[in-house]
Structure 1
Amino acid sequence: MTTTSPQLTELIDSLPTGLFIDGQFHDAEGGKTLDVINPSDGSVLAKIAAGSAADARRGLDSIVKAQKKWAKTPARERSEILRKAFEILVERSEALALIMSAELGRALPDSRGEAAYGAEFFRWFAEEAVRISGDYRHSPSGNARMIVHHQPVGPVVAITPWNFPLAMGARKIAPAIAAGCTIIVKPASKTPLTMLYLAQVLKEAGLPDGVLAVVPTASARDFSALLDDPRVRKLTFTGSTEVGQMLAAQAAQHSLNVSLELGGNAPYVVMADADLDVAADAVVAAKMRGAGQVCIAPNRFLVEENVKDEFLAKVEERLQKFVVGPGTDPKSTYGPLSGDDQVETVRELVDDAVVLGATKSMGQLPDGLPAQGSYYPITILSDIPAEAKIHSTEIFGPVIAVSTFSTVKEALEIANDTPFGLAAYVFSENLSTALELAEGIEAGMVAVNKGALSDPAAPFGGVKESGNGREGGFEGIEEYLETKFISLPL
């Protein structure tokens, strides 16, 4: 199966590999590098600069220096830079898809979807940049004029995950730029090439030097040490709950603004009155995107007991059509996981459930895959014992874990029996039932009778231990603004 091609090799060789600081790409201190691995075959795609603590500090210095001037830049000018970035990203969407599929291993159809989705954040926040508003009031007591004014929060530290190399950065960078903030980004060490390419695109779009810094590093501590610098005014993080909470505690020492998008354990509730073809079709969009390595992917499939067998038969029929292979192979419809570490995590969860008595179906890889690739087969689990770890642990792989219920009340109890609350999915043809479930499930986002949930024009975020704050929508830019009250005599 094809893992590389002359086109891909030429593209990868043309990508920037240095730290992006003050508008230029630089070598890391001491010339340190890290390898970017292709999960499709285990080969080294590229060597990139691996920033040190001093490099991260240099990046922070550059955005702090640029902050005052950027905050005073007219909103229309900021908007036009974002709009230009959107246009470049659309024009180069196929190159972006190839880069993401190479470093993440994800199949090209999914990477093309992210290329379009990520670009849309730049268009959305280009429009929001010129919509930042304030307020003018009279005090009810009649003795003061009250002006409510919004200002950029200041220099931002952003940390992004590996599973959406473009979109997770776009959801943070675009609103920061729109609001008048400067920002330093640490991309995941597994997938830094896309973020470095995005930095190049933003420079081409006219972003002034110093407004953005991108510092890949093999040491997360070297980067998170920036939160101890009082010049930083905001942390935005997407990743695991454990790490996010540790960073938030560190950020609290300087009372930083914090927004966190953390782990999920999404329920996928299928009522007996659901259109089972719609519910089965939606599994493809909700679960199989990125081979299941998506924070909002359903983790717990809760199916009303009298339709479980019919639903599973329909789901298996659809999953059998997937073609596993290298992410950049045009024939592949799902690729490897992000690395052998991720394969082992998923395998442990599935093996634990099976040992405890769960029923397993599918779960076989075809012959002919690259020996060093990080592949895991699509797997369906049912009759899962309550004590299985898979009920409470985010799977992040192509595993459909099914449990049953008999009443709406029971479905809600199971759905809410988790400390997480990022996303949820509900399927019912009865509007009253669908709304009862959607309103009753403790989650920041609920999709009803559909598998696609995210939209740049909608607020994205969770409740409980899935984080705080929102990205996207009208709310997204507010995360990068401070509210100032100015009082004048009447």
Structure 2
Amino acid sequence: MYETYGLLIGGTWRSTGGAGTIEVADPATGDVIGASPAASVADVEEAIESAEKGLKIWRATPAWSRADMLHAIASIMVARTEEAARRMTLETGKPLAQSRREWALSIDQFRWYAEEARRIYGRLVESRAPGGRVEISHEPIGIAAAFTAWNFPAFLIARKVAPALAAGCSIIVRPSREVPGTAMLLIDCVKQAGVPPGVVNLVIGPTATTYDPIMASPKVRKISLTGSTAIGQQMIRDSASTLKRVSMELGGNAPVLVFEDALLEQVLDLSVPVKFANAGQVCVTADRFYVHETLMKPFVDGFTARAKALKLGHGLEETTQMGPLINQRRVDAMEKIVADAQARGGKTETGGGRSQGQNKGFFFEPTVITGLPDDALAIRDENFGPIAAITSFSTSDEAFTRANSSEYGLAAYVFTRDPTRMREAAARLEAGMVGVNSYALAAAEAPFGGIKASGMGREGGSEGILDYMNVKLTQVVV
């Protein structure tokens, strides 16, 4: 799988890297499925030099030509959907249907930013100088670097590469070492479309050889991360020496408020698939459910019944509804959360342990826990797994206060039929994104991102391209 591609530096695939190889495992079986070449410091420094050369070509390429190239990338990706979905499922464990959807959302990013490349607007301001005017324009920021997590190995890259290319930047992509094959395939689509050598580079490897040289280089002007809050904090500190611009999509711990007038069956039908998609390894997934006391029992009963009915299995099986966690560390983390819940008097309605029906891989049962205090790990922290914590509330003020008590502020959700309460929720919930009777937040046309410990900057929408551009003021006096 990995020898066909490898590292992409200067427009050429390299099947070997200076830091050896990295084994990649199928999380559904634990079996090694291949070995990716690992980049050395010298490889990464060469990628930076390559990106510098590519930048000179790409920033001089007309916006309409860049748009055509982005559309070409999207068309190539469409033709490779099944290949990409299978590769993604093998590396992450997510069901094929979810992999196909992720690839489709990735294609959307290139389509959207193809058109945004044609809409990089400036403006004119009347000057106080006689015969003068002030021009405000946007220019590419320079070389960008993208660091991405393993849970959405195609989509997270697309959300960074597409706006960077639309803006006229070159970019170095450094994906998670656990899912390199998906990154290789997506970047190969970029290469096949004819993007000039050096404009997009791919490096894979350990932190010491891939992270450090990028962060130390003054030539890299922009960093985009999708990862944990702790990593984001470290990256912000490390970027200070060269004053790189940073955008961060970090952790989340999304609250879901279910008010007494919500349509119960509709909420359940939406919530359970969302909660257990990708085995709960989604930054904007519903983590902690605050349900009005009048709906608490039927909500818990309905949620638990639906969770029990989910079919676990290998993602390549079309009937699978939930796959494994990515690795043993995530299984250990789930067991720690459940143990904490039990110690605090929580009731496990279903699940709570490793899947008894799977003898291999990193499977953990869909889990529902009730009766927890707000300082329990399942409510206080991002669990990033298939654990749903459900608790009740009595008043609106209580619900909003408890929902906002988290250090995170990525996404929040509310279910109600009252228009006044909808607007109140949108105003009072402390999050970068609020879903009202919907969990659909990640779309190419909409800005995605959080506040507080969930990060800064936005990906998607017309706002997303601005993070890859500098603002220039020109005073013209005739």
**TM-score normalised to structure 1 length:** 0.94
1:196 to 178, 184, 199: 184
Q: CA RMSD in A?
A: 1.5
Any runs of at least 4 consecutive aligned residues in structure 1 with deviations exceeding 3 A, and if so which? Answer: 27-31, 140-143, 364-368
Q: What's the counterpart of residue 234 of structure 1?
A: 222
Q: What's the counterpart of residue 59 of structure 2?
A: 71
Show the 5 A alignment for 1:83-482. 83-140=71-128, 142=130, 144-219=132-207, 222-363=210-351, 367-369=356-358, 371-482=359-470
Q: Hey, what's the Cα distance between the residues in 2 that align with 1:218 and 1:105?
A: 22
Shift of 1:386: 3.2
1:397 aligned counterpart, secondary structure: coil
Q: Which structure 1 segments of 5+ residues have no match?
A: 1-11
Q: Which structure 2 segments of 5+ residues have no match?
A: none
CA-to-partner distance for each residue in 1:267-311, whole Å, 9 max, x for gaps? Answer: 011011111112111213431221110000112111111211111
Shift of 1:139: 1.2
CA-to-partner distance for each residue in 1:15-73, whole Å, 9 max, x for gaps? Answer: 73411111111144446000111000011111110112221111111101211111001
Q: Hey, what's the Cα distance between the residues in 2 that align with 1:20 and 1:283?
A: 40
Checking the alignment, whether the CA contact within 8 Å between 2:44 and 2:209 is kept in structure 1 is no
Matched, 1:48 2:26: no
Checking the alignment, whether the CA contact within 8 Å between 2:249 and 2:450 is kept in structure 1 is yes
Q: Hey, what's the Cα distance between the residues in 2 that align with 1:481 and 1:89?
A: 26
1:385 aligned counterpart, secondary structure: coil
Checking the alignment, whether the CA contact within 8 Å between 1:360 and 1:380 is kept in structure 2 is yes
Shift of 1:339: 0.8
Shift of 1:367: 4.8
Show the 5 A alignment for 1:18-37. 18-30=6-18, 32-37=20-25
Checking the alignment, whether the CA contact within 8 Å between 1:41 and 1:372 is kept in structure 2 is yes
Number of corresponding residues: 477
Checking the alignment, whether the CA contact within 8 Å between 2:10 and 2:197 is kept in structure 1 is yes
Q: Compared with structure 1, are the counterparts of its residues 245 and 365 closer, same or farther at alpha carbon in structure 2 (3 Å cutoff)?
A: closer
CA-to-partner distance for each residue in 1:226-278, whole Å, 9 max, x for gaps? Answer: 11111111011110001111101111222211110010111011011111112
Q: Hey, what's the Cα distance between the residues in 2 that align with 1:69 and 1:84?
A: 18
Shift of 1:375: 0.2
Q: Hey, what's the Cα distance between the residues in 1 that align with 2:414 and 2:159?
A: 26
Q: Hey, what's the Cα distance between the residues in 2 that align with 1:288 and 1:321?
A: 12
Checking the alignment, whether the CA contact within 8 Å between 1:269 and 1:426 is kept in structure 2 is yes
Q: Residue type matched to 2:321 in 1?
A: T
Q: Compared with structure 1, are the counterparts of its residues 465 and 367 closer, same or farther at alpha carbon in structure 2 (3 Å cutoff)?
A: closer
